[in-house]
Amino acid sequence: MLGVSDNSRNFLSKESPVPLVQIDLDRSLAERLGPQISEGVHQALVDGLGMDPTDKFQIFRTHAPGELVADPGYNGVDRRDLISIQIQMVHMYDVTTKWATFDLIAKNLADLGIRNDDLLISVVENGFEDWYAGKSRN
């Protein structure tokens, strides 16, 4: 698995990490491209993090015009329509792996016509002990 720290390898032999992806975007964009956005983000996690393809947990939160507010020029970009992608996952990937995954997400969404300048991608990390995915621990 790419970028996985040694101290987490024992756990991975028992279970795989289950990132939870929360995507906030304009309702009309979700209606038009929701399934494709879902697949583009998911495939980037599979390719970039070495994630099991069955670990797909996503929450789409759609918004009316004016409900997503962001500075249009922050960080030197030309932001027009904010799409916020927050990935909650176990702290086990190095910075290079995370950044490569961000790039894969941006590329996959650019293939759908979504501008990189409109993306805000963040990771929230916690430990293996902070998750329950419908299965008791042995």
pLDDT along the chain (138 residues), means of 10: 44 59 98 98 96 94 96 96 96 96 98 98 93 72
pLDDT at 15: 52
Radius of gyration of the chain from Cα atoms? 16
Beta bridge partners of 83: 119
Three-state SS at 74: helix
Beta bridge partners of 23: 60, 85
pTM: 0.86
Residue among 8, 26, 119, 95 at smallest CA distance from 64: 26
| pLDDT tens figures, 24-62 | 999 999 999 999 999 999 999 999 999 999 999 999 999
pLDDT at 33: 98
Q: Which residues of 12-24 are buried (b: 16+ CB within 10 A; e: fewer)?
A: beeeebbbebbbb
Q: Is there a contact between 38 and 61 (Cβ–Cβ < 8 Å)?
A: no
pLDDT at 7: 43
Enter the DSSP assignment of 111: T
- 20-126: what fold? Macrophage Migration Inhibitory Factor (3.30.429)
134 vs 67: CA distance, rounded Å: 33
pLDDT at 134: 80
pLDDT at 12: 43
Three-state SS at 85: strand
